[in-house]
Structure 1
Amino acid sequence: MPATHQEPARFPVTVDVVALTVRDGELSVLLINRLLEPFRGKPALPGGFVLAGEELLEAATRELAEETGVEHLPGYLEQLGSYGPRGRDPRGDILTVAHLLLAPDFPVLSAGSDAEHAAWYPVREVQSGTVQLAFDHDRIMADAVERAKSKLEYSPLGAAFCGEEFTIAQLRAVYEAVWDTRLDPRNFHRKATGTPDFLEDTGRMTAGDTGRPAALFRLAPAARPAPGQPTKAVLNPPIMRSRP
């Protein structure tokens, strides 16, 4: 007798985006306030349903533009992981594929689509429960923050939080904000500039700021990810965070 095969499950797929930046010395996450049920008025990650014919990254980019007004994404975007489908949405079984965006601080232009407000929030406010997110977005954000912390150890993506050119002090401020710690300036400078294929000196200096001029750096060519592709560059030796 032929084997009996169960019908494959069919359920909708969504994308969510954990956009992280450093604002005022703090790791911050981009949140929207939901305009529609479920969880109307509650903070949530930007996201929505994948449309027919869309790739996941296309859907993530579109949803971020629709809900925050950001059409040209700065920084680095990659897939984080999948969540569900059971038990995460009161509308039924819905699988979401989360994405992580590491970006320089950028303005949120406007809310739209099913969002009534969009703004940056300190990550610590979500972690402490001061800001409570819809769905399972607190879990997704926690995974994204841990991914970002690890990325900074082994990859050059700490620079994704900076502009095209930056000082070592600005880069160190990123590591301190993401890792929530203080780093010795001299040790960090030595590690960052001494790690092969990480940074290159532009030969230019800062000007017009208070304090002494500082050298400007940028990512070395080997450390720059190809557009739309995960970074393959690895810091060797890594810049390790201290653990309790």
Structure 2
Amino acid sequence: MPYDPSAFPPFAVTVDLVVLTVRRHALCALAVRRGEPPFQGRWALPGGFVRDDEDLSQAAARELAEETGLRAHDPSAPAQDNGAHLEQLATYGDPERDPRMRVVSVAHLALAPDLPAPRAGGDASNARWAPVEELLQQGGYGREGEPVAPLAFDHARILADGVERARSKIEYSSLATAFCPPEFTVGELRRVYEAVWGVALDPRNFHRKVTGTPGFLVPTGGTTTRQGGRPAQLFRAGGATLLNPPMLRPEV
């Protein structure tokens, strides 16, 4: 029986981005205020429709560049110039998720070190870095005292899934170093774990664990005083992608 495209309803495909960074020792996500319907005036995750001539990874990389100025990680690039970590997160296809039409979203997770203030673009009227706990509130008030409405579409669910992916992966992989600059101290890496997990970690135990995990960190031979006090040893990410033993998340 011949295939008849008209027998199937049309639908659109979008990419939504959970862009996470650590700012002022807090895990933050990029949020944009929608300037057009639907959900005009509400905060949402950045993203957009996939173009006819691009695949999903290209669309996600394009949106990342347009929203943050970052390019996605290139495995062939030098270690110190690798760009942002970008990976596919999950697909969301509830028929009612977008009031305009049937829209399937392929969400992506992006991680990068402390990023500058974002600039709004496209149909966004404003953009900001916001603590993830604030964005995930269903009502209530944010740090500035302004009312916090739920995120547009199903973006609260997407954001929660992205945050949990990051929290889980830094347990058994070297993904935490994606939040760090090319050279960092153990203290700076510890603050990444504390921000992502939302817990306080013992500095001595943490130092012993990360420096004793094969392939996790490599000393650069340099030191820094940017944290104040005595010079601290600088490290870069090692070649290990999986941590053995893993960095288990403390129970809270």
Asked whether the equivalents of residues 31 and 43 of structure 1 are also in contact (C-alpha less than 8 Å), the reply is yes
Amino acid at match of 1:239: M
SS of equivalent residue, structure 1 residue 143:
helix
SS of equivalent residue, structure 2 residue 243:
coil
Matched with 1:28 is 28
Distance of 1:38 and 1:4 partners within structure 2 = 34
Matched with 1:87 is 96
Identity %: 54
The residue correspondences of 1:69-80 to structure 2 (distance < 5 A) are: 69-73=68-72, 74-80=83-89
Asked whether the equivalents of residues 69 and 112 of structure 1 are also in contact (C-alpha less than 8 Å), the reply is no
Distance of 1:92 and 1:182 partners within structure 2 = 45
Matched with 2:49 is 49
Candidates 153, 164, 171, aligned match of 1:135: 153
| CA deviation vs aligned residue, 1:189-216 (integer Å, no higher than 9, x gap) | 0110111111101111003552111000
TM-score by length of 2: 0.86
Candidates 177, 183, 191, aligned match of 1:173: 191
Moved more, 210-219 or 129-138: 129-138
Moved more, 95-104 or 110-119: 110-119
* Deviation for aligned residue 1:102: 1.1
Q: How many residues align?
A: 232
Candidates 187, 196, 199, aligned match of 2:217: 199
2:239 is the counterpart of 1:240: no
**Which runs of 5 or more residues in structure 1 are unaligned?**
224-232
Amino acid at match of 2:210: A
Moved more, 85-94 or 181-190: 85-94
* Deviation for aligned residue 1:69: 4.7
SS of equivalent residue, structure 2 residue 115:
coil
Asked whether the equivalents of residues 217 and 235 of structure 2 are also in contact (C-alpha less than 8 Å), the reply is yes
Matched with 1:164 is 182
Distance of 1:19 and 1:124 partners within structure 2 = 14
**Which runs of 5 or more residues in structure 2 are unaligned?**
73-82, 142-147
Amino acid at match of 1:136: D
Distance of 2:55 and 2:65 partners within structure 1 = 15
Distance of 2:178 and 2:237 partners within structure 1 = 9
* Deviation for aligned residue 1:87: 1.5
Amino acid at match of 1:33: R
Asked whether the equivalents of residues 168 and 189 of structure 1 are also in contact (C-alpha less than 8 Å), the reply is yes
TM-score by length of 1: 0.89
Give the CA RMSD over aligned residues. Answer: 2.0
Matched with 1:63 is 63
Candidates 189, 213, 235, aligned match of 2:207: 189
Asked whether the equivalents of residues 224 and 234 of structure 2 are also in contact (C-alpha less than 8 Å), the reply is yes
Distance of 2:192 and 2:245 partners within structure 1 = 19
Matched with 1:117 is 126
Asked whether the equivalents of residues 34 and 42 of structure 1 are also in contact (C-alpha less than 8 Å), the reply is yes
Matched with 2:233 is 215
Matched with 2:105 is 96
| CA deviation vs aligned residue, 1:140-192 (integer Å, no higher than 9, x gap) | 00000100000110100101001001000000000001000011111110110
Distance of 2:211 and 2:70 partners within structure 1 = 33
